């Protein structure tokens, strides 16, 4: 079966939100939906969402390796011309795939789209989409591709040509947090042609059931994020795009304020070991 889209959905412990996420995907024969459950106790077969026309594949991944590993498992099963990523606590807008369809035959490696966001507690507007919105509007206004290619680090709000990922051997990181950053930077760098649309295709939610690792603040999680930023900086420096990396020394300053001198020294020591001299980075 040839599919236009493979929608990869990492899932863990948020069943009601998963149902809403899958419901937001049109029931079309050209869509392959891949749900990768990385919970310690996967969904029983009776609870796996189904569609009449779209193909739904359900599989599992290691519960200790996070969403990045789950997405990598999904990549091995994807058969679509384009990859689309959906977090299981988010959902697509009603016209999302109509927006995607406009670009199917136009040859782009990546098409970036706009998003909105809401608080699940009261459906009020959240600010979680603001960075994505600014990237899209800036590109449309200036035509500058670099912020899209190198600083649009979410996997969602994109349709990504599958061959771009396969031919360049690009995978997600398998850290507990920040596992999508380098994937996004690498596909952006390797894409021959990109564009962006102001159409809103995706709704990011805030305040779901439990606490998402993406939003969890702890010394260890923040250190992992810092280590990923160091890797991102080194990659960007190697291709002459280091100005697109977040400022590293401000992260060390926040570590000092939030976790104390011992933890911030750990960060400085790690950066030095990785060959990043913070006094000369910027």
Q: From first to last of its 282 residues, what are the pLDDT tens digits of the chain? A: 799 999 999 999 889 999 999 999 999 999 999 999 999 999 999 999 999 999 999 999 999 899 999 999 999 999 999 999 999 999 999 999 999 999 999 999 999 999 999 999 999 999 999 999 999 999 999 999 999 999 999 999 999 999 999 999 999 999 989 999 999 999 999 999 999 999 999 999 998 544 454 455 789 999 999 999 999 999 999 999 999 988 888 888 889 899 999 999 999 999 999 998 775 444
What pLDDT is recorded for position 58? 98
What pLDDT is recorded for position 251? 87
What pLDDT is recorded for position 277? 76
The architecture in CATH of the region 3-206 reads Alpha-Beta Complex (3.90)
Cα dihedral sign for 98, 184, 86, 55?
positive
What pLDDT is recorded for position 207? 85
Q: Judging by DSSP bridges, how do beta strands 80-85 and 31-37 pair with one another? A: unpaired
pTM to 2 decimal places: 0.94
What pLDDT is recorded for position 166? 97
The residue extents of the domains of the chain are 3-206, 219-281
């Amino acid at each position: 079966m040839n599919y236009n889209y493979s929608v990869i959905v990492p899932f863990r412990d948020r069943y009601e939100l998963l149902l809403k996420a899958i419901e937001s995907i049109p029931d079309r024969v050209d869509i392959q939906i891949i749900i990768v459950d990385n919970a310690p106790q996967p969904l029983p077969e009776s609870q796996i969402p189904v569609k009449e026309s779209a193909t739904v594949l359900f599989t599992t991944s290691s519960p200790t390796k996070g969403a990045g590993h789950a997405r990598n498992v999904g990549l091995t099963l994807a058969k679509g011309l384009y990859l689309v990523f959906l977090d299981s606590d988010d959902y697509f807008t009603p016209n999302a795939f109509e927006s995607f369809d406009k670009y199917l035959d136009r040859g782009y490696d990546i098409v970036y789209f706009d998003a909105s966001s809401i608080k699940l507690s009261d459906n009020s507007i959240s600010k979680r989409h603001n960075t994505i919105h600014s990237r899209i509007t800036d590109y449309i206004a200036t035509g500058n591709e670099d912020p899209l290619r190198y600083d649009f680090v979410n996997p969602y709000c994109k349709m990504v040509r599958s061959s771009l990922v396969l031919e360049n051997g690009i995978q997600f990181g398998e850290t507990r947090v920040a596992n999508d950053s380098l994937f996004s930077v690498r596909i952006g760098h390797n894409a021959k042609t990109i564009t962006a649309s102001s159409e809103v295709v995706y709704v990011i939610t805030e305040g779901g059931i439990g606490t998402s690792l993406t939003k969890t603040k702890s010394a260890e999680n923040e250190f992992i994020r810092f280590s990923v930023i160091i890797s991102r900086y080194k990659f960007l420096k190697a291709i002459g795009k280091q100005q697109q990396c977040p400022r590293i020394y401000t992260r060390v300053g926040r570590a000092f304020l939030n976790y104390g001198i011992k933890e911030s020294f750990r960060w400085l020591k790690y950066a030095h070991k990785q060959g990043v001299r913070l006094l000369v980075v910027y």
